[in-house]
């Protein structure tokens, strides 16, 4: 009996999800084609820019009141992913933290997720992080630094576990999917794979124009 009630509730939610998405979709800063999201998630709508073929999964929380969240093309989220583009100022003596309204430098930084990224269930991505193209974020990870392209990261704080492929395979993969001007070089890929480490936070906004149109261009690749 309880199973039937749960199934009925799930079907009811699915029935109203699409009609709710239509008016809410226009609240986002920009979005591309085939953009799917859970209407019952939490979003800083005007500060979120999304590319083509993106699914934000079940009940995500994407908050960036004084910064922006940029999501490229063909990105998948698992359930209950959290992205936070801001931080509290905890460096003011003589005041309770909840009474401090002034922001310190770099308290609010953009979050960028490049193309072809899979973010696992209940992962948390914090301000200033840039997720490189083709990478995978393990379920439950807390991402405090930027992720190199094609890396698989996991843990709290998240660390590089391995890369999806070797350099030669990534180059063949990129040749099949991206125009020459957007492909990584062998030297870039070798540098990231040799280091096997996370990258620094990005303390400036993405290149102007990303997400400005109805169908945003690809997010510019990480260069570090």
Report the alpha-carbon angle 171-134-36, nearest 5: 140
Q: Are 153 and 131 in contact (CB under 8 A)?
A: no
pLDDT tens string, the chain, 224 residues long: the values are 555 555 555 656 667 777 888 899 999 999 999 999 999 999 999 999 999 999 999 999 999 999 999 999 999 999 999 999 999 999 999 999 999 999 988 899 999 999 999 999 999 999 999 999 999 999 999 999 999 999 999 999 999 999 999 999 999 999 999 999 999 999 999 999 999 999 999 875 443 333 333 334 344 444 44
154 has which bridge partners? 159
Cβ partners under 8 Å of residue 38, min gap 6:
17, 56, 57, 58, 59, 60
Encoding tokens for residue 217?
A: 């261009």
Domain presence at residue 59: yes
E-strand spans in 78-137?
A: 82-84, 111-113, 118-119, 124-125, 130-131, 136-137
pLDDT score recorded for residue 203: 77
Domain presence at residue 43: yes
Q: What's the rounded Cα separation, in Å, for the pair 107 and 88?
A: 7
Full-model pTM: 0.86
pLDDT score recorded for residue 116: 98
Chain length of the chain: 224
Domain presence at residue 4: no
DSSP 135: -
pLDDT score recorded for residue 114: 97
Give me the domain span that covers residue 174.
Answer: 18-195
Smallest CA-to-CA distance from 85 within 121, 49, 119, 120 is with: 49
Q: Which of 31, 49, 88, 173 is catalytic?
A: 88
pLDDT score recorded for residue 113: 98
Order of strands across the sheet with 76-77? Answer: 76-77, 118-119, 136-137, 151-155, 158-163
Q: What's the domain count of the chain?
A: 1
End-to-end CA distance of the chain: 56
Smallest CA-to-CA distance from 135 within 161, 164, 106 is with: 164
Alpha helices of the chain — where are they, by DSSP H?
2-25, 167-177, 186-195
pLDDT score recorded for residue 6: 53
Domain presence at residue 119: yes
Q: What's the rounded Cα separation, in Å, for the pair 58 and 131?
A: 20
Encoding tokens for residue 123?
A: 């992962």
Domain presence at residue 45: yes
Domain presence at residue 210: no
| 88 annotated active-site | yes
pLDDT score recorded for residue 221: 44
Q: What's the rounded Cα separation, in Å, for the pair 6 and 103?
A: 45
Domain presence at residue 71: yes
CATH number where 30 lies? 2.160.10.10
Domain presence at residue 58: yes
Burial track 38-54 (b if 16+ CB lie within 10 A, e otherwise)? bbebebbeebbbbbbbb
pLDDT score recorded for residue 187: 97
């Amino acid at each position: 009996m309880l199973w039937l009630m749960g199934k009925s509730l799930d079907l009811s939610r699915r029935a109203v999800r699409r009609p709710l998405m239509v008016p809410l979709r226009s609240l986002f800063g920009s979005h591309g084609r085939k953009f799917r999201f859970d209407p019952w998630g939490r979003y800083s709508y005007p500060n979120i820019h999304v590319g083509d073929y993106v699914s934000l999964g079940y009940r995500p929380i994407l908050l960036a009141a004084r910064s922006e969240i940029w999501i490229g093309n063909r990105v998948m989220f698992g359930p209950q992913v959290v992205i936070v583009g801001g931080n509290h100022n905890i460096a003011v003596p003589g005041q309770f933290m909840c009474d401090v309204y002034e922001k310190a430098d770099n308290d609010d930084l953009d979050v960028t997720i490049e193309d072809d990224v899979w973010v696992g269930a209940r992962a948390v991505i914090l301000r200033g992080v840039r997720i490189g193209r083709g990478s995978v974020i393990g379920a439950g990870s807390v991402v405090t630094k930027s992720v190199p392209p094609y890396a698989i990261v996991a843990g709290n704080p998240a660390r590089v576990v391995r890369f999806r492929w070797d350099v030669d395979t990534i180059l063949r993969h990129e040749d099949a999917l991206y125009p020459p001007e957007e492909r990584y070089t062998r030297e870039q890929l070798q540098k990231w794979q040799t280091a096997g480490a996370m990258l620094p936070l990005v303390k400036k906004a993405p290149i102007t124009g990303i997400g400005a149109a109805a169908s945003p261009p690809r997010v510019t690749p990480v260069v570090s």
